[in-house]
Every structure is written in C-alpha cells, then in structure tokens.
Amino acid sequence: MTNPNDPKWILSSSPHVFQGDTTARIMWQVVAALTPAVVWGVYAFGWRAAWVIGWCVAGAAAAESGALRLRGRPNALADGSAVLTGLLLGMNLPATSPWWMALLGGVVAIGLGKQVFGGLGQNPFNPALVARVFLLISFPVAMTNWAVPGGALADAVTAATPLGAAKTAVATHGALGDALAGIPWWKLFVGLQPGSLGEVSELLLLVGAAYLLWKRIIPWDIPVAFLGTLVLVTGAAWLGAPAKVVPPWFHLVTGGAVLGACYMATDMVTSPLTARGRWAFGVGCGLLTAVIRLWGGYPEGVSFAILLMNATVPLIDRFTKPRKFGWVPDAKGAAS
Amino acid sequence: MAARTFPLGGVHPPDQKHLSAAKPVEPAPLPDLLVVPLSQHIGAPARPVVKKGDRVLAGQAIGEAVGFVSVPVHAPTSGKVLRVEPAPHPLGPPQPAVIIEPDGDDRWADDLEPLTDPHGADPDEIRQRIQAAGIVGMGGATFPTHVKLSPPPEVKIDTVILNGVECEPYLTADHRLMLEEPDRILAGLRVILSVFGLDKGYIGIEENKPDAIELLGRKAREQGFAEVVPLAVKYPQGAEKQLIKAITGREVPSGQLPMAVGAVVQNVGTAAAIWDAVSVGRPLVERITTVTGEGVAEPRNLRVRIGTPVRHLIELAGGLRGEPGKLILGGPMMGIAHHDPDVPAVKGTSGVLLLPRDRVRTAPEGPCIRCGRCVDACPMGLAPTTLRTLIAHEMVAEADEWNALDCIECGSCSFVCPAAIPLVQAIRYAKGRVMARRRKGG
C-alpha cells in the first residue's frame, strides 16, 4: 500500500469536482454547430464563400495573436473565440466580398471589437457585428453585391435579397406589387436566395441551434423573444397594410433573423446574465429589427438591432438582478 | 408526480454513490492513538478536564461545555491521556486536542443514566441530556443540537424535518444508517417532536435512495408520527433552507434562521444520536463515516470512534489507489482538502474522500465569458460573477447590496464555471469583508 504520508496532496478550496465544460469547448461547439450552414454557403455560392470565410478567420486570428502578444498575454487562439468571431463575420458577408475586405473585417472585429476592451469577456459589443457594420458603412457597394445561389458555376449573377427587393418595390411603386411573387417561403427557408453567405439557410441554422440548445450552450429565451417579437410587430404592420408590408413569415426566413437571433444575440459576453434580462434583451432585438426593417433606410436591421441592444446590457443587468431566495417584502431588514 | 425540490438553481454533479452505497456499516477497529479535538462544534470549544497521564473510560467527559453554545467532549474509548496539546484539525489550523492511547479494553463509564421515560420526559431534561451527551449536527455543520431545540419562547415551532437527503456526491453514511437503523432514527425523531409538543414530523430523502425511502416510509407509516418526503436529486437539496422550501413551501427570510418559519431541521444521524443519549445514556463518541473515492482501493462505510486519524481509515479501506490527488474531509462539493493524514475524524466527519490526481481539475483560471451559468446555478438567487467582480475591486458596499451575505457556500457556481473561476472562494472573501464593514459601520 502507498504510504498516505508520501504523496503531496493537492490543496485547494471546495468544490473539488467540476462540471467539465470549458470556455474552449463552448466556443468550438458553436463553431461546429455553424458548420452545416457554412457548408451550405459554400455549396450555394461556390468556393469564393470559403475564400471569404478563410480571410475573415485569418484576419481575426492574426489580430487576436498580435494584440495578445503586444499586451504580453499568452496566446489564446486555442480557446476558439477569435476563430468563432471570424467565422460569424464571414457568414455575415456577401460571397462576392473581395479578400482584402474580409481580412480587414477580421482584423477590425478582434482589434476594435474585442481587444481594445481587454480581450475575451470584456467587450460590450458583438465583435463580428462591429466589423460587419464597419464594412457596411465603409464599403456599401461591395457589401450589397449579393450572388444568386446556383453552385460554383453561376458566379456572375447577382440580385437583390428578397427584403431588399421588397423595400425597393415599395419605395418606387408605393406597393410590394409582385416583388415577392413566385418565391415560395420554403425555398427561402432551405437557403435558395441571395443573401449573406451564411445566413441564407434557416433550416441548417436551426439544426445547429437545436444542437446548442440541447447542449445548453445557448439559452432558448433570447431566440424565442427575438423572433417572436419580430413576428408580432411585423405581423401587426402586415395586417395593417398587406400591400406594402412583407408578411411576417418572410421576415423569419429572409435576412439574418435566424443567424442573428440564435448565434449573435446569444453571444454570452454581450448578452444579459439572467433569464429575465435575456427576455428583455431578446424582445428589444426583435423590436428594433422590426422598426429598422419597416421604416429604416436599410432593408435589413438585425446587426444594428443587436449592437444597439448590446449597449443596453449593463443597464438590463442592473434592473434584472436575480430574485434572491428568502426575499420577503415585509420582513424587517430582510429585503434589499 | 414529480418529486418535490427547491425552486432556484441547483446542479447535478455525478453522484458516485455506487462506490459505497452497498457496503454495510462495519465497526472500525481502534487505532493506536486517538486525537480528540476540544473544538468539534460551532461555538466555544470545550475546556479540558483531564491532563497528561489520566486514565479515562469510554463516554467519560474529557472536556466541559463553556457556555450555552458549547457542548462537552467525551473519551471515545478507555485508555491513557498522553498529552493535551494542539493537533491537526479538520477545519483548519491545529487546535487543542486530547491525545488518548487506547488500552484495548474499551471499558465504559457508567455515570450516564438513561432517562426512565425517553418519550415522556420533560423538554428541558431532554435538552440538558442532549447537551451533556455532546450532540451536534452530524450533517457536517456541527451546530450544537440542544441550541436548535431551544427556540425563544415567542417562537412557535410547528415543523420538524429530519434531513436524510445526503446530497453531497460520494457520501453514503446517512443512506446506510437509514437502511440499517431506521428505528433509532424514528425514535430520535419522536424525542425531538416531544420537545416541541408535536405529533408529526417529516423525513426528506433524495430519490436516488429508493430503498431508504421505501423502508423508512413503511416504518413511518406504521408508527404514525412521521412522513417520508421523496425529493428530486439536485444539489444542494440537503441545504437547510432549500430542504425547508421543498417540504413546506416556506422560504426562510434572508439573514434569518429556520425557526423564523417555524421549522427545525436535524440530520438523521443526529436523531439517532439523540435516541442513544436519552435511551441508553450514551454520549456521542462515534459516527458513521464513508471512506470513498476513486483514489481508495475498497470504499467502505465505517463506524468510527471520534478522534480516529484519517490515515487509519484509509488503511481500513484498503489503502490508496492510483496517483494520489486530493484528501478531502466531507463531500466533494463542500468538503475541505487536507495535506496531513494525521487529521482526525470528528463529530462532523461524514466522509473521507480520496480523489486520484486525474480527477482533480488543475486548469488555470480564465476570463469570465459572462455565460451566466453561475447565476442559473445559484440556489440562493445570487449573481456570483457580479459579486466576484465587485469584490475584486473592493466594492464592499456594493457586494452587500448584491446580497453577498446570503451565499450558503454550496459551491454550485464554481462547479459550473467553464472558465474555472473560483467563484465561491471570492464570495466567501466578500462575506468576510461585508461583515467587517457592517460591524464597523453599524
């Protein structure tokens, strides 16, 4: 028998057992959950989609490594967070994006979106969305050059997104007319539509989200509150003016609603801590998305909505403090 | 019907009870040396009443209670007092202890008379007897039992709950006690009920012990004064406030004791010890301890004399297995890691847990990613990551506002943290700072 005196027993405070999930495992599982939609993007828009994502990830990884080196911190690429940011940014870009724009976006996402605030866990805004909005306002033409899905061969055909086409029709003719005619919603749902290379297949995005929900990596309340509010508000507007407003189910299956609600608004770092807070956050995202889409100058509003709601998270956290156990309103000195 | 449980938070650590759940309790042979600390309870340590060279008999008081929140300490067997000096202690730095060399005869002192009518005795007589027998809460917190049974006159106790939850992973001492000695437990419960003039009590047991629920449930029905309540398997189901909430629906107000909602909770082992004290006149000199973990060769449940060095218990469990990692007194969620196997088992030692090195997490602390898992896991409705950030900046008043003092230190937050942040440790520190500030600021 080993002499119990011999070993150097490890001393540390309780608890002595742990659930086993790590930050890296969480990040890489989100990457894995996004893979089906990414593969679809490459299938639908050709290898240039993979090229765009590759440059985004490269830019994000380079900025992460460089910034950590400058700050004298250990390299943290293995935690997967920078790769995930690069991947998400790539999914938010048109497949026709030039390589330098993707690379710049990756660098901006990590540099301006994350490391300036102190790195992982410190950034108030979703880094991928910071970069996307930066690119959108800097290079508006390149950022709205939407390819038509059709496999690697059809690489020259571009068209407006369904939401963009609808917006243009209303702006020029005062009504939707036949802007959406002949587009069955299921075609949009499986991903046969122009749009950002990773957002077009709601079906595959939901498959990945279901996996993350099952693994309890993303909360269900943010996507449900986000998409539910979007449907309610756009639904009310549609009922009021069906000739001018896109029906609510089109709002769900086009644009970045599902990608944003399931993968960007649920970013742990930039969303509230408590269930009540997550509800408020999700409702806010859905509401702002609807307002921008219905009345804004842009056909799409998901990025702006999430970024604006990111700014409210410290406030939401403050006002949605968990309800503590043993809180009795009338007990003297007990309530606080 | 879903089993009852508490409403907020909670976690599900793998319970690992299979290692020892089927091992009947066996008496641990006496070691060569007993180290009996004079402080084995919350409150004033006992004052020694023996000195070097004295001969003592089992059950003889070797330390006397100092005040109300204090209990005496008794010799666990007959033998010679070698020394009275500071010795390793399970709760931290060395504490004064009586070191006894057993003579092997295990002769008992006969000065404690059993109460003639244990179930009809005067409540004050019962409380005195319980204190004289040195009985403390045996679930691990070691609060003197007679104090819990002495609420102020204006407080009306209407609910007595026995805690048979045993929600700490690995531990099976209470489980074995419930299976092997249900009558002692029920008799003890009846004594506690008589103190408050009640005719019915509850026994809460987690559903991962169906045999105990069945056996105690049947006996309770037969005897008519107890009801077994099956509870969902969720840590920390055995925490006092969580247990009361699950069974009665009442929420103990923040900063107050269970008596504020008319409840008294006692561990099942404590109830059995109470019965021994009033029916046989036997003071608390032994307890059941689970010696377990993947780091020990043959996990066992042992009936251990107080003061037995842990080294002896490890030997009785077949010695170490694998590369040694941690030696823990108590369970893996709230137990304390030790480096010295000479530390003795005491009245609150529910388990000796040995974890091999590959079961010990050594990952460095990473940055908080605000995943909120600690918030979801906290059974007290706190925001552990916020508290940790506040106290890291020495924002003590804010930590108080965010209810640091309500933390029950169950460790659920640290358990779930993917960034390996020592959250419960930070909050423990915060509690100390908040209390210091309150004392100073009034």
pLDDT tens profile A53-78 = 999 999 999 999 999 999 999 999 99
Strand partners, B205: B230
Query: If you average pLDDT over residues A23-48, what whole number do you get?
Result: 95
Which SS3 state, helix, strand or coil, does residue B277 take?
A: helix
Which SS3 state, helix, strand or coil, does residue B163 take?
A: strand
Kindly state whether B289 is in contact with chain A, defined as any CB-CB distance less than 8 angstroms: no
CA–CA gap between residue B203 and residue B185 (Å, rounded): 10
Least confident of A110-114, A168-172, B430-434: A168-172
Closest C-alpha to A146, from A162, A128, A130: A162
Closest C-alpha to B373, from A274, A287, A323: A274
Q: ipTM surpassing 0.85, yes or no? A: yes
pLDDT at B55: 95
CA–CA gap between residue A273 and residue B329 (Å, rounded): 34
Residue A238 in this model has a pLDDT that exceeds 60: yes
pLDDT in tens, chain B (442 residues): 578 999 899 999 999 999 999 999 999 999 999 999 999 988 889 999 999 999 999 999 999 999 899 999 999 999 999 999 999 999 888 999 999 999 999 999 876 677 777 777 889 999 999 999 999 999 878 899 999 999 999 999 999 999 999 999 999 999 999 999 999 999 999 999 999 999 999 999 999 999 999 999 999 999 999 999 999 999 999 999 999 999 999 999 999 999 999 999 999 999 999 999 999 889 999 999 999 999 999 999 999 999 999 999 999 999 999 999 999 999 999 999 999 999 999 999 999 999 999 999 888 899 999 999 999 999 999 999 999 999 999 999 999 999 999 999 999 999 999 999 999 999 999 999 999 999 987 5
pLDDT at A184: 80
Residues 10-29 of B with CB under 8 A from A: 11, 13-14
Strand partners, B354: B327
Residues 270-309 of A with CB under 8 A from B: 270-275
pLDDT at B1: 53
**Token reading at B186:** 């029920």
pLDDT at A194: 86
pLDDT digits (tens, 9 = 90+) for B175-216: 999 999 999 999 999 999 999 999 999 999 999 999 999 999
Closest C-alpha to A299, from A205, A180, A150: A180
pLDDT at A63: 97
> Which chain A residues are within 8 Å of B335, Cβ to Cβ?
14, 16
> Which chain B residues are within 8 Å of A335, Cβ to Cβ?
254
Signed CA dihedral, A330, A331, A336, B4: sign only: negative
Which chain B residue shows the shortest CA-CA distance from A328? B253
Residues 305-364 of B with CB under 8 A from A: 310-311, 314-315, 318-320, 323-328, 330, 332-339, 341, 353, 355, 357, 359-363
pLDDT at A333: 46
Percent of chain A past pLDDT 70, that is, above it, reads 93
Kindly state whether A325 is in contact with chain B, defined as any CB-CB distance less than 8 angstroms: yes
pLDDT at B216: 96
CA–CA gap between residue A8 and residue B340 (Å, rounded): 9
Residues 203-242 of B with CB under 8 A from A: 241
pLDDT at A155: 53
pLDDT at A336: 38
Q: State the maximum Cα–Cα separation within chain B, in Å, rounded to a whole number.
A: 63
